[in-house]
């Protein structure tokens, strides 16, 4: 099945290069139209009814979110196209929405069609986009993350997460009530998603990321351990000890 796609990007040269890259690397995706601003993009979507829209976030006279707000229900999949530094990247990751980073890399395009088809089968994009809108407006502790397991998708408040533990290519996520969710992502992926200077999460060990707001106490002897409010005790590696104490003292 061919996927009908619209490309909405304000820079003409980037748009043309992107379309050529899709033709070379994603034969299952057929570009049926392109636009350089949100007004033309909206008209294009209404006319052509694409399966997927590749949407630049920053454009003249508005942004990609302004375009999406014109739809009461979004009847297509969205792949955001943006730069790594953009403020919305963390919100996109938490909301499990698809995105591509500029400059575009071939290895990011090859699996794209299958990712889009998977999203279409799950029919969860509208819920994830609603979560994105909430996360963009929320304070750090009020944000939510999408956790996809083998059997279900959960929307979890970040402040309910106590710690994350590496399990080979999986991660176990432990809640403050000791419930556990197992997700097929590595701890490194969650570190990139959660552990920035503004967040409450810090990696303390090759096996653990913790929520510093869940700390009950820190033992600062030759070996360092942290005890969480639900009484789990975790080892802190020597090279992570200083960062942990700095973050704990700052809250």
pLDDT tens per residue, the chain (251 residues)?
A: 799 999 999 999 999 999 999 999 999 999 999 999 999 999 999 999 999 999 999 887 788 999 999 998 899 999 999 887 777 888 999 999 999 998 888 888 999 999 999 889 878 888 899 999 999 999 887 899 999 888 889 999 999 999 999 998 999 999 999 899 999 999 999 999 999 888 899 999 999 999 999 999 999 878 899 999 999 999 999 999 988 988 888 87
Q: Which CATH number fits the domain that encloses residue 43?
A: 3.40.50.2300
Give pLDDT, residue 139. Answer: 87
12 & 129 share domain: yes
- Using CB atoms within 10 Å of the CB of residue 140, give its burial: 0 to 12 exposed, 13 to 18 middle, 19+ buried: middle
CA 140/CA 228 separation, integer angstroms: 20
Q: Which domain holds residue 103?
A: 3-136
Where does a domain end: 86, 116, 136? 136
What DSSP character marks residue 46?
H
What domain count does the chain have? 2
Radius of gyration of the chain (CA): 20
Sign of the torsion angle spanned by Cα atoms 17, 19, 20, 21:
positive
Where does a domain end: 87, 107, 136? 136
Is residue 98 assigned to a domain? Answer: yes
Give pLDDT, residue 111. Answer: 92
208 & 108 share domain: no
CB distance 113 to 51 below 8 Å: no
110 & 224 share domain: no
What is the distance, to the nearest Å, from the Cα of residue 75 to the centroid of all Cα atoms in its chain? 21
């Amino acid at each position: 099945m061919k996927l009908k796609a619209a490309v909405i990007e304000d820079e003409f040269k980037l748009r043309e290069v992107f379309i050529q890259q899709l033709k070379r690397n994603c034969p299952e995706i057929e570009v049926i139209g392109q636009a350089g601003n949100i007004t033309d993009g909206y008209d294009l979507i209404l006319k052509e009814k694409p399966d997927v829209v590749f949407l630049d976030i920053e454009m003249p006279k508005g942004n990609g979110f302004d375009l999406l707000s014109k739809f009461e229900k979004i009847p297509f999949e969205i792949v955001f196209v943006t730069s790594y530094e953009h403020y919305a990247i963390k919100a996109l990751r938490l909301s499990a929405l698809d995105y591509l980073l500029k400059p575009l890399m071939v290895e990011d395009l090859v699996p794209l069609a299958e990712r889009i088809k998977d999203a279409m089968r799950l029919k969860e994009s509208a819920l994830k986009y609603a979560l994105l809108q909430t996360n963009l407006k929320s304070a750090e502790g009020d944000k939510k993350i999408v956790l996809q397991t083998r059997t279900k998708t959960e929307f979890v408040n970040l402040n309910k997460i106590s710690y994350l533990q590496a399990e080979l290519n999986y991660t176990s996520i432990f809640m403050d009530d000791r419930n556990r969710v197992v997700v097929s992502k590595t701890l490194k992926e969650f570190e990139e998603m959660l552990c920035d200077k503004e967040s409450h999460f810090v990696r303390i060990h090759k096996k653990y990321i913790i929520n510093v707001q869940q700390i009950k106490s820190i033992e600062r002897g030759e070996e360092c351990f942290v005890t969480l409010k639900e009484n789990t005790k975790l080892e802190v590696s020597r090279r992570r000890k200083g960062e942990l104490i700095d973050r704990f003292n700052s809250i």
